[in-house]
């Protein structure tokens, strides 16, 4: 049997486990749904304004020139309100007459047809009418009187751009005064162009 101190026993060191590098997870950016929804661009007052109008010419025994400029405002995409000026020139049989005034109107696009819409139109027009007459000496004179006329009817609005359009209106004149410059029906062709493209 062997004698002497026991030989040292080499103790096994615990094996170190290889370090596993933790992979960082990609950051997930959670966007708020409200942030993803871009707010609609707010339109300014001028972006809802339109300028336009209509005009008329008639030649023959009597010459008539009509100018009706307008400014309108889009209350909603289908409802409009506006104001306008009115000027009529009449000549013939030795007289020259000038009628002028203003009007307020409202328009509603009722339903679409093709690239346009059927339009309801109502307005009140107030004019200073030139009335010719002969005085006691037989000389031709001109006097002025006021006249108000309600006009209502339907029309068709044809779009010519994203915001511009032409209107064809057929209106009924509710004032049958003999000095009325309009006959029934009143037919108008006009246009409306936006102040801006927004």
Pick the closest to residue 122 from 79, 154, 163, 85 (CA basis): 154
Taking residues 29-36, what's their average pLDDT? 51
The predicted-structure confidence for 122-140, as pLDDT tens digits, reads as follows: 999 999 999 988 888 888 8
Pick the closest to residue 166 from 192, 195, 129, 136 (CA basis): 192
pLDDT at 141: 84
At residue 125's C-alpha, the angle toward residues 122 and 130, to 5°, is 155
Omega of the bond prior to 91 within 30 degrees of 0, cis?
no
Tokens coding 36: 């993803």
| Alpha-carbon span 191 to 50, nearest angstrom | 10
The predicted-structure confidence for 146-181, as pLDDT tens digits, reads as follows: 999 999 999 999 999 888 999 999 999 999 888 888
Taking residues 81-90, what's their average pLDDT? 95
List phi, psi (to 5°) of 175. -115, 120
Tokens coding 139: 């000389």
Distance of CA 132 to the CA centre of its chain: 40
pLDDT at 161: 84
Task: Say if strands 140-159 and 165-173 run parallel, antiparallel, or are unpaired.
Answer: antiparallel
- Whether 35 has a pLDDT exceeding 70, the answer reads no
The whole model's pTM is what? 0.73
Query: Are 173 and 182 in contact, with CB atoms under 8 Å apart?
Result: yes
Higher pLDDT, 18 or 52: 52
Higher pLDDT, 182 or 159: 159
C-alpha dihedral, 70 to 82 to 56 to 100, nearest 10°: -80
- Range from 20-24, 118-122, 140-144, 178-182 that averages highest in pLDDT: 118-122
Residue 117: CB atoms within 10 Å: 20
- Whether 2 has a pLDDT exceeding 80, the answer reads no
pLDDT at 95: 83
Q: Which domains does the chain possess? A: 44-194 (2.40.160.20)
């Amino acid at each position: 049997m062997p004698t002497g101190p026991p030989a040292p026993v080499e103790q096994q060191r615990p094996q170190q486990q290889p370090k596993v590098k933790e992979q960082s997870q990609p950051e997930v950016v959670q966007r708020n749904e409200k942030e993803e929804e871009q707010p609609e661009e707010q339109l300014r007052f001028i972006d809802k304004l339109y300028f336009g109008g209509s005009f008329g010419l008639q030649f023959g025994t009597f010459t008539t020139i009509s100018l009706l400029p307008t400014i309108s405002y889009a209350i909603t995409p289908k409802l409009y309100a506006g104001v306008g000026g009115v000027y009529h020139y009449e000549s013939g049989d030795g007289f020259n007459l000038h009628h002028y005034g203003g009007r307020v109107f409202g328009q509603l696009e009722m339903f679409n047809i093709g690239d346009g819409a059927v339009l309801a139109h109502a307005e009140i027009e107030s004019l200073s009418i030139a009335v010719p007459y002969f005085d006691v000496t037989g000389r031709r004179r001109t006097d002025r009187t006021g006249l108000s006329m309600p006009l209502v009817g339907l029309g068709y609005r044809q779009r010519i751009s994203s915001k511009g359009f032409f209107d064809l209106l057929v209106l009924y004149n509710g004032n049958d005064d003999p000095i009325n410059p309009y006959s029934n029906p009143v037919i108008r062709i006009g246009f409306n162009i936006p102040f801006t493209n927004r």
